[in-house]
A and B are shown apart, each in its own frame.
Chain A
């Protein structure tokens, strides 16, 4: 599973129409060891800048990561 570091993040309270039922939810820009970045959804624990995250098997149509404790 891919691992990365949280570069920046936010918790969305006011969501667009199609995600309104999921709010609040967290998204983050994460940075992989290669230096490339990706915008992903964070599941579970609240992630902060600098936290290490790992990809979950996703079926939502977008990448989902969670904090590695």
Chain B
């Protein structure tokens, strides 16, 4: 397999943009990315789009050629990937495979979601489609409810507390306040997080990521650049919560992480910073355990101790994470990688970390049915 490199990145701000369309957001991210790479649309040999549910959110289908055509990419394969919240990561994984295997030299990956044109209740309905329609959404389960039940079990098994969950939210809100492209730039306290409006117990709104509009793009190439994709692995697991033997861990993340660490020849202690899938506060805690950064059950006290703050031992979600940077579902997996590259180039401004040679991204779909783990390394 050939080595694969990051040739360019581009991202829109994340937020609620009533006047902007899915196409418009994707075009901005792609245009920025191609400019960053010093390349043009005619250099793109294949286009991979990550999008969860544009058809439900915007009534537009056939999205990959729809977006590609808008930036002048024609005559090449343009394909959409759907893996719930890991749609962006999955598009990226398949793009990496195609360059590593020698099929293409230059591939453009874009992730996009336009969510805020729907009501909260309708968004909850659409997102519930990432679960099991027959056995979960039919009973009235929402996506926050699925993760709330995961949190309850983690609390029951390991003594994790609501304060530990809130510590994730407080950290990510603070980090987002330093990120000009973040959806929310509001610093919060533990007390505010705990007193938020209840969503699905034990979660308040501060345990949940945001409903956002946004897009991100990344151009990958077989030609060496400053940042190399040292590893990218995807794995799957059961869709329905009731089918998992232990709901306090995501075996798909563990499997993808094991493959990625082996590919990169690195171990968890070699990682300098990470962007992980904090769709809910508990998901960031479990990611710490599944990625091997801390022993199972110990993530709560560890994160609450400040170990994953910007100035901590292992900075996690310096962008503000899905929690506060925002979570335009299909864009997330691609945006995480852009945020890591920004850190690796030393361009993160007030949220810049000291060491950023080895960086890891983890993008989770559904309640763990898809997980993508990517390791970036400075060449």
Interface string of A32-43 (1 = CB under 8 A from B): 000011111100
CB pair B140–A37 under 8 Å, yes or no, is no
Counting CB contacts under 8 A, is A68 at the interface? no
Which of B20-28, B88-96, B120-128 participates in binding chain A? B120-128
B1 at the interface (CB under 8 A from A): no
Asked if A49 meets B139 with Cβ closer than 8 Å, knowing A8-B149, A11-B200, A14-B124, the reply is no
Q: CA A61 – CA B121 in complex, angstroms?
A: 21
Chain B residue with minimal CB distance to A38?
B242
**Across the interface, do B247 and A8 meet the contact criterion of CB distance under 8 Å?**
yes
> B122 contacts which chain A residues (CB < 8 A)?
17
Residues of A within 8 A of B149 (CB): 8-10, 27-29
State the main secondary structure of chain B at its contact with A.
helix
The residues of A that contact B241 with a CB separation of less than 8 Å are 29, 39
Number of interface residues of B (CB under 8 A): 35
Q: Which of B149-188 contact A (CB under 8 A)?
A: 149-150, 152-153, 156
Query: How many chain A residues have a CB neighbour from B under 8 Å?
Result: 30
Quick one: given A39-B141, A41-B139, are A17 and B124 in contact (CB under 8 Å)? yes
Cβ of B198 within 8 Å of any chain A Cβ, yes or no, is: yes
B66 in the interface, Cβ–Cβ < 8 Å? no
On whether the beta carbons of B121 and A20 are closer than 8 Å, the reply is: yes
Are A19 and B140 within 8 A (Cβ)?
yes
Residues of chain B with a CB closer than 8 A to A37's CB? 242-243
CA distance in complex: A38, B242 (Å): 5
Question: B152 to A49, Cβ gap below 8 A?
Answer: yes
Q: How far is the CA of A20 from the CA of B119 in the complex (A)?
A: 12
Residues of A within 8 A of B121 (CB): 15-17, 20
Neighbour of B142 across the interface among A12, A38, A41, CB < 8 A = A12
When the two chains form their complex, are residues A11 and B152 in contact, meaning their CB atoms are under 8 A apart?
A: no
Which of B142, B153, B203 has a CB less than 8 Å from the CB of A49?
B153
Chain B residues with Cβ below 8 Å from A62 are 138-140
Closest A residue, CB atoms, query B136: A39
The CA-CA distance from A49 to B169 in the complex, in Å, is 25
Evaluate contact between A10 and B140: CB separation under 8 angstroms. no
Contact (Cβ within 8 A) B156 A14: no
Q: Which of B43-74 contact A (CB under 8 A)?
A: none
Q: Which residue of B lies closest to A19 (CB)?
A: B140
Chain A: CB-nearest residue to B118 = A17
Is B142 within 8 A of A29, CB to CB? no
A18 to chain B, nearest CB (A): 7
B124 touches A13 (CB 8 A): no
Q: A8–B150 contact, CB under 8 A?
A: yes
Contact of B200 among A7, A12, A20, A40 (CB under 8 A): A12
Contact between A14 and B138, CB atoms less than 8 A apart: no
B140 touches A14 (CB 8 A): no
For B294, the chain A residues whose CB sits under 8 A away are: none
Within the assembled complex, what's the spacing in Å between the Cα atoms of A13 and B152?
A: 16
Chain A residues numbered 33-67 whose CB sits less than 8 Å from any CB in chain B: 36-41, 49, 61-63
Chain A residues at the B interface, C-beta cutoff of 8 Å: 7-20, 22, 24-25, 27-29, 36-41, 49, 61-63
Give 23 CB contacts A-B under 8 Å.
A8-B153, A10-B149, A10-B152, A11-B200, A12-B141, A12-B144, A14-B144, A15-B142, A17-B124, A17-B125, A19-B140, A22-B140, A24-B198, A27-B141, A27-B145, A29-B149, A36-B242, A37-B243, A38-B242, A39-B135, A39-B139, A61-B138, A62-B139
